[in-house]
């Protein structure tokens, strides 16, 4: 199961020190849990799903203590939400016989709320999760919270179950609308460095971001100030930096957006938009 987060029409995230809920506002604007968390964006190479994932600072998507996530699949499963959950359990059973136990907490016609636990298996550590699979008006979504512990603390478990049970997607018109997100990209893709470099520059251009400097493994671009089109609204002036590093036949891709100080409240993060455009460029080749 992919681990993911973001773009909820109504979804509250809770801080862990008893702080009040941080409500995601404006039909999906991503707000992180707090400064001790970092968010990452992912889009599959076949363009079939988008994902936003949050882990604690100092952790990675390969080695984490807690993870919060949401995945939006562009082509909904032909299975019901509960059948989809059962399929995941069947796959894990084949990979780690007897290691996973799943339980449906509640269900309706378009969603299933669940929890599962997996014992340590091979290189996979012990893990406990709660989550929800639901069919929205425009996409198929998976929400989950996971921790590498024998069991979730009762208050944490109830907190996330309520959060996911209350989530709706009725106002979301795309799987992920990058105009609503403020998420940088840090991921490894199975594409060679030379191909990624050739795709990143036209991807930047597609977002009205003109390449301003280029060096080995690093490409920077700058967007003009002012509204350039209905699609690219806002104050403008954002700078986007792509750092690309070869890892064998794969490439580590880091794309960050600098908002600067002047007018930063009206500026947008273009990291996800440029990453999506880069993936589409790679498909052309």
pLDDT digits (tens, 9 = 90+) for 200-215: 999 999 999 999 999 9
Confidence of residue 151 (pLDDT cuts 50, 70, 90): very high
- Is the separation of the CB atoms in 167 and 111 below 8 Å? no
Measured distance CA(224)–CA(237) in Å, rounded: 5
User: What pLDDT score does 43 carry?
Assistant: 64
Q: Name the least confident of 59-63, 72-76, 209-213, 232-236.
A: 232-236
Structure confidence at residue 75 (pLDDT): 62
- Residue carrying structure tokens 């919270």: 145
All domains of the chain in start order, with CATH: 12-166 (3.40.1000), 184-284 (3.30.310.80)
pLDDT for the residue 226: 64
pLDDT band at 251 (very low <50, low <70, confident <90, very high): very high
Share of residues in the chain with pLDDT > 90 (%): 35
Looking at per-residue confidence, does 190 or 35 come out higher? Answer: 190
- Residue in the structure block whose two tokens are 């990453």: 275
Question: What is residue 244's predicted lDDT score, i.e. its pLDDT?
Answer: 96
The CB density around residue 91, as the number of other CB atoms within 10 Å, is 12
Token pair 């889009």: residue: 43
pLDDT interval class at 137 (50, 70, 90): low
Average pLDDT over all residues of the chain: 76
Query: What percent of the chain is predicted at pLDDT more than 70?
Result: 68
pLDDT per position as a tens digit, 163-179 = 888 876 654 444 444 44
Residues 6+ apart with CB under 8 A from 13: 21, 22, 24, 31, 32, 33, 68, 163
Residue 2 pLDDT = 36
pLDDT at position 189 over 50:
yes
**DSSP helix/strand/coil, 279:** helix
Query: What's the pLDDT band for 51 if we cut at 50, 70, 90?
Result: confident
pLDDT at 77: 65
Higher pLDDT, 196 or 91: 196
**Confidence class of residue 34 from pLDDT cuts 50, 70 and 90?**
low
Report if pTM > 0.85.
no
């Amino acid at each position: 199961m992919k681990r993911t987060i973001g773009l909820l029409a109504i979804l509250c995230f809770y801080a862990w020190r008893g702080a009040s809920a941080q409500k995601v506002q404006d039909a999906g604007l991503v707000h992180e849990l707090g400064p001790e968390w970092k968010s990452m964006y992912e889009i599959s190479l076949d363009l079939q799903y988008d994902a936003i994932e949050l882990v604690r600072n100092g952790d990675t998507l390969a080695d984490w203590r807690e993870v919060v996530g949401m995945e939006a699949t562009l082509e909904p499963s032909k299975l019901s939400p509960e059948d989809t959950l059962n399929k995941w359990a069947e796959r894990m059973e084949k990979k780690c016989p007897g290691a996973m136990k799943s339980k449906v907490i509640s269900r309706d016609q378009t969603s299933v709320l669940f929890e599962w636990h997996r014992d340590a298996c091979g290189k996979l550590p012990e893990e406990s999760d709660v989550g929800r699979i639901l069919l929205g008006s425009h996409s198929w979504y998976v929400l989950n919270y996971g921790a590498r512990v024998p069991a979730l603390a009762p208050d944490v478990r109830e907190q996330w179950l309520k959060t996911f049970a209350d989530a709706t997607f009725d106002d979301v018109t795309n799987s992920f609308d990058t105009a609503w997100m403020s998420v940088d990209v840090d991921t490894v893709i199975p594409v060679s460095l030379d191909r990624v470099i050739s795709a990143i520059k036209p991807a930047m251009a597609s977002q009205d971001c003109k390449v301003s400097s280029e060096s080995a493994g690093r490409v920077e671009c700058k967007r003009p100030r002012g509204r350039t089109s209905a699609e690219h609204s806002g104050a403008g002036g954002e700078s986007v930096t792509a750092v690309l590093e070869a890892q064998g036949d794969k490439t580590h891709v880091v794309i960050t957006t600098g908002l600067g100080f002047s007018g930063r409240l009206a500026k947008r993060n273009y990291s996800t938009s440029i990453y999506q455009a880069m993936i589409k460029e790679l498909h052309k080749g």
